[in-house]
């Protein structure tokens, strides 16, 4: 198949592209890092093909949609930060919040418009979203039927998902992937930041340690997306997370065990609020996310437990 990935040069997109190519698919990446010579790129033998897109407007890149069997929308400004430095220093100012919103809503609407104008429509569309949709709750299980929260991230996710809702009326199979809060990999995401105190023998739970952490190994995440691509019954909402969420305290104990480091230095909630402001919600939210629909379709995890995931990553 020919598959176009909007935002495919990012953390998740890079891993997904690699797996799709390994399985024999042709991948077209829409990215600010791509090339503007659209015709030359689409006629090349490279895999993946890199095409320039500003993430907002329709242009020559739309020709990639016309020849694609499916589209995956991962486009959007990084919520936490592109690296450890940004995670630690980049606050959620009103301007940055608007950039987060615009990068998601504008890209979704542009992709929908390109599909509407395409003479040949894609068979499927995978829309990224996040566990932030559900807000934060002390102990409630969050399967795909749980309601939306009412904080900034929840409202952002609702708008993000709705930006491509028009495709449902066009007969295109659309699967929405609400991705776990911690995607386990050393190549990106929040795990390198979480592990940093342990490397200095200062590891421990975040806040009171009782909040639930939704997580997934990066390899299982991209396997889950490919599973949805290949399953014609896969439409609607899917939680992409481990079937075994853990509390922050449990996570810290497993990290300490795997790294053979102390794990009894808790970081107080007020410290995160002082340093990060509202952005601290990314680390302190309690989200007991469950992949009910993914399991119902028969998906099998390679790293279902946090210990198996961390041993693979750190071992």
Distance CA 32, CA 61 (A): 11
Kindly state the DSSP code that residue 147 receives in the 8-state scheme: P
Runs of H (alpha helix) within 200-305: 218-230, 248-259, 269-276, 281-284, 292-296
The whole-angstrom separation of Cα 176 and Cα 240 is: 10
Residue 92 lies in a domain: yes
pLDDT at 207: 83
Kindly tell me if the per-residue pLDDT of 80 is higher than 80. Answer: no
| Closest-CA residue to 27 (of 1, 53, 52) | 1
Give the Å distances, CA to CA, from 110 to 33, 107, 122, 191: 18, 5, 15, 32
**Residue 258 resides in a domain:** no
- DSSP code per residue over 179-193: E-SEEE-SSSSSHHH
119 domain residue, yes or no? yes
- Determine whether 109 is exposed, middle or buried from the number of CB atoms within 10 Å of its CB (0-12, 13-18, 19+): middle
Query: What's the total number of domains in the chain?
Result: 1
pLDDT band at 87 (very low <50, low <70, confident <90, very high): low
**Which residues in 144-168 are b (16+ Cβ under 10 Å) and which e?**
bebeebeebbbbbbbebbebbebbe
Check pLDDT > 80 for residue 83.
no
CATH for 173:
3.40.50.720
| H-helix or E-strand spanning residue 148 | none
Is residue 295 included in any domain, yes or no?
Answer: yes
Inside any domain, residue 155: yes
Residue at 35 is within a domain:
yes
- Tell me the average pLDDT across 214-235: 97
Query: What is the structure's pLDDT at 310?
Result: 97
Domain annotation covers residue 269 = no
d(C-alpha 86, C-alpha 84), whole Å: 6
Range of the domain at 75: 2-185+214-243+288-302
Residue 11 pLDDT > 90, yes or no? yes
CB 217, CB 309: distance < 8 Å: yes
- Structural tokens at position 138: 């002390």
Flag whether 34 is in a domain.
yes
Q: Give the tens place of pLDDT for each residue, 153-181.
A: 999 999 999 999 999 999 999 999 999 99
């Amino acid at each position: 198949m020919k598959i176009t990935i909007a935002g495919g040069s990012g953390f998740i997109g890079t891993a997904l592209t690699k797996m799709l190519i390994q399985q024999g698919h042709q991948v077209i990446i829409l990215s600010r890092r791509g090339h503007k010579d659209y015709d030359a790129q689409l006629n090349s033998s490279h895999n993946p093909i890199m095409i320039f897109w500003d993430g907002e407007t329709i242009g020559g890149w739309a020709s990639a949609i016309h020849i694609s069997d499916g589209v995956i929308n991962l486009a959007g400004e990084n919520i936490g930060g592109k690296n450890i430095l940004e995670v630690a220093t980049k606050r959620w100012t009103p301007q940055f919040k608007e950039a987060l919103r615009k990068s998601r809503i504008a890209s979704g609407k542009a992709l929908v418009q390109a599909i509407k104008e395409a003479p040949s429509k894609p068979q499927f569309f995978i829309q990224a979203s996040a566990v932030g949709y559900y807000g934060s709750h002390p102990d409630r299980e969050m399967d795909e039927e749980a309601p939306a929260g009412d904080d900034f991230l929840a409202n952002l996710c609702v708008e993000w998902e709705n930006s491509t809702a028009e495709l449902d009326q066009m007969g295109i199979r659309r699967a929405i992937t609400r991705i776990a809060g911690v995607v386990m990999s050393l190549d990106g995401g929040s795990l390198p930041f979480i592990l940093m105190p342990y490397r200095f023998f200062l590891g421990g739970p975040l806040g009171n340690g009782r909040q639930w952490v939704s997580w997934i190994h990066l390899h299982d995440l991209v396997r889950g997306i490919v599973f949805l691509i290949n399953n014609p019954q896969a439409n609607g909402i899917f939680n992409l997370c481990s079937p075994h969420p853990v509390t922050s305290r449990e996570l810290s104990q497993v990290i300490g065990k795997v790294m053979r480091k102390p794990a009894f230095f808790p970081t107080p909630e007020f410290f995160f609020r002082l340093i990060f402001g509202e952005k601290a919600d990314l680390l302190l939210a309690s989200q007991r996310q469950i992949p009910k629909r993914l399991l119902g379709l028969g998906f099998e995890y390679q790293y279902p437990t946090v210990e198996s995931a961390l041993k693979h990553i750190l071992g």
